[in-house]
């Protein structure tokens, strides 16, 4: 569920701040290389997930709060965006 913002600079007075972090393990795909946080594909996926979650949630219900979403990719063999979005949706439903 939502929690109090950790930093005042991230606090939004009219809606919830949503933080999305995506990381992929080196063994997740056939390439076996370490993907850094600045990787373009991971950055695009992070932005797409953040925009989708912002559209999905009623962010005006909990102003001045924060929701942290952390996605850890353990296997990447197709359908990555759909799998990430489904897992985020199920986790939010479970959290209440």
- Rounded distance, CA 43 to CA 73, Å? 13
- Phi, psi of 52, rounded to the nearest 5 degrees: -65, -45
State both tokens at 82. 């759909």
pLDDT by residue for the chain (96 residues), tens digit each?
Answer: 676 777 666 777 788 888 899 988 878 777 666 656 567 888 899 999 999 998 988 888 888 888 889 999 988 888 889 999 999 999 988 887
Sheet holding 3-4, edge to edge: 3-4, 65-73, 17-24
pTM for this predicted structure? 0.79
């Amino acid at each position: 569920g939502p929690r109090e913002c950790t930093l005042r600079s991230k606090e939004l007075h009219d809606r919830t701040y949503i933080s999305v972090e995506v990381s992929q393990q080196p063994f997740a795909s056939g390439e076996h290389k370490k993907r850094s946080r600045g990787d373009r594909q991971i950055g695009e996926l992070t932005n797409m997930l953040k925009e989708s979650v912002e559209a999905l949630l009623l962010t005006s219900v909990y102003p001045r709060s924060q929701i942290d979403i952390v996605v850890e990719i353990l296997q990447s063999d197709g359908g990555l965006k759909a799998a990430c979005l489904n897992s985020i949706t199920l986790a939010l439903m479970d959290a209440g």
